[in-house]
Structure formats: structure tokens, C-alpha cells
Amino acid sequence: MILLQQLATSDTTAVGGDGEGVLFFFELLLKGGFWLVPLVILWGMAIYIFFERLRNLNRASKTPFEFMEKIKNLVANGDVNGAKLLCSQTDSPIAKMIEKGIHRIGSPLKTIEASIENVGKIEVYKLEKNLSLLATISGAAPMIGFLGTVSGMIQAFIAIAQEEGSVSPKLLSTGIYEAMVTTAAGLVVGIIAYLGYNYLVSKVQKAIHYMEYTSIDFIDLLQEPQ
């Protein structure tokens, strides 16, 4: 603790000499050493995956509210081709499921249900694409940060062992900075990736429930007396 206090005092004095009084964030990151490289890569991957999935999930959930009403009216009036055309013009997982069911009209009800379920599984797989990778990043980033901490502290203790006489805080600054900065960076990346993952999972679950409700509604439509 005394060593860290001495180091903090030395760094504050050195930084305050230029009249600014604070160490710029970018300069602080440069002190993190090699272990910040994989963390920056994971950060970029997490941001890309989150916004790419968010865009696709928002697009997939934009099924017009009146879509099923139009489908019901077309099927009830015997206009199967019109229902197929409406589904093909609507880009959403629900439309693809209903379109598959319409193509199977005339088959046993179990066959129609199985066809819709198979298409639904494919669409759910598309919705969940790369979510497991985002979850991996949320767990791996803090571990890499802690590994950087261990590496930095090892460097600090090696410097202490090699130093003869009194230990200069300036000599240990590289190892201490690497230890602290990589820990903070790893936790920041991990927390953001974890929050993003859970938010996307909640949107996927909401989309799945809506898909299940719509498919049941369509099956009920086929069971109604014509």
C-alpha cells in the first residue's frame, strides 16, 4: 500500500507539472501494455455484434399488426394465392412461417404444424446468430484483464527483485499501470458485453413468443369450420 501511495504521488506530480492535472485517458490506455490488444479486439467485436443483431431483431419484429388479419380474410375467402403473395412481400420470420403453412393447406393438420415448426426453428436460429459469441466475450474479457493484472504484477516483482537498494516507484510504474489498466478495461468490456447480451436475449425471447402465438392463431384459423 505504501508503494502504491508513493507511485500515485509521483505520477500525480509528474502529470500535474504540465498544468493539466490529469492523465489523459488515451495515455492511460497506452500504459496497459500488450494485454489491451485482445481487449480492444473483443470490444470491437462486441459493439459490432450488438448493433448488427439489434438491427436484424428490430427488422424481424416489424411484422405489420394487420398482417394476420389480412391473412385470415384471404384464407377464409379461399384466396390462397393472395395469402402466399402477401407473405412473400412481408420480410419477417412470422411471414415465412405462415407462408410455409399456407403451402401445406390441404395436408393433415399435424403436417402443417410440423412444417411451421421447422421453419420457426430455422428463423429462431437466425435470430440467435452470434449471441453465444457475445456471451463468450462477456466472460473472456474480464479473464484477459485479470491475466494482464497478473502479468503486470509479475513484472513489478521482478523489478523489485532486480533492484539493488531502495526501490524507485518510477521503476515499477510500467507493471503497476499494466496491472490496473487491464483489469479495468477487461471489466468494462465484459460488463458492456454482458448487458448487451441479456438485452438481445430478451428481444429474441419476445420475438419467439410472438412467433408461437401467431402460429397457434394460424392453426386455429385452419380448424375453424369453413
CB 182 within 8 A of CB 36: yes
Cα-atom radius of gyration of the chain, to the nearest Å?
Answer: 29
CB 75 within 8 A of CB 83: yes
Query: What's the pLDDT at 91?
Result: 81
Q: What is the pTM of this model?
A: 0.75
Q: Is 172 helix (H, G, I), strand (E, B) or coil?
A: helix
In this predicted structure, what is the pLDDT of residue 183? 86
The fraction of the chain above a pLDDT of 70, given in percent, is 77
**What contacts 104, CB < 8 A, 6 or more positions away?**
111, 112, 115
Mean pLDDT of 172-198: 84
CA-CA distances (angstroms) from residue 138 to 35, 47, 151, 193? 16, 12, 21, 5
Q: Residue 190 above 90 pLDDT?
A: yes
Q: What is the pLDDT of residue 44?
A: 93
For the chain, give every domain's residue range: 33-223
Cβ within 8 Å of residue 112, ≥6 positions away: 101, 104, 105, 219, 222
pLDDT band at 15 (very low <50, low <70, confident <90, very high): very low
61 φ/ψ angles, rounded to the nearest 5 degrees:
-90, 0
**pLDDT range class, residue 224, cuts 50, 70, 90:** low
* Three-class secondary structure of residue 107 per DSSP: strand
pLDDT 10s digits, 169-180:
666 666 676 677
Confidence of residue 166 (pLDDT cuts 50, 70, 90): low
Cα 85 from chain centroid (whole Å):
35
